[in-house]
Amino acid sequence: MDARGVLDLLDLTLLDHSASETALDALCERANEHRPAAVCVFSEHVPYVKGRLDGRIPVAAVAAGFPVGDSDPAAASDAIRAAVQAGADEIDCVLEPREDEGFPGESELAMLIAMREASAGCVLKVIIETSLLDERRMRACARMALAAGADFVKSSTGKRGGCSDEAAGILAFEVMRHGVTMGSKPGVKLSGGISTLSDVERLLSLVNSEDPAIKGAARLRIGASSLLDELVG
């Protein structure tokens, strides 16, 4: 895949609560020039970014705790609704892992339902933090998130481990499986430690080996903060 093809899938990311207006301006300038799939920032930065970004570029807000996800569905719902009201087009949320035999269980389902209801009208990407999960829990979280209506299952925050080859393949399989079962077309977002074009090519080949139909920004995203530097210099 060439640089333009990767840019079309890229969620250009700046997740820093203390980011200055200068840093946010630079982010918007680069996005306006290179046109990624979306720009991803914390909720409090959404209004500023929306005012400076080309209106054709969606803004994704990270809401309800990051990198540690919220444990209270009501609090998560309030945070997501605030992000939507601030102008977010997409919402990225962490489904926080638990060291419990019953994970994922009823509390996770309640959280996912709250995420989906609060983000109604926006694209919802659920981060399942695959680096902290074994295969069984990875699959269970992906299935539960998709069943609750997530538009994307996302591999990682990037703060507690990266996106492994295994995770990319598993998420792609579960998205394919859900689509076949339900007749829908959810997507995969690969994020965490992806910084080179070779990383992208390797991970996308694993996704495509599970389902070649998972392509285009409506179904496939790459979350990265430094990848743009390699793509455009």
Which residues does the annotation mark as catalytic?
92, 154, 189
In the numeric block, the tokens 């939507």 are attached to 84
- CA distances from residue 99 to 68, 72, 103 in whole angstroms, order as listed: 14, 17, 7
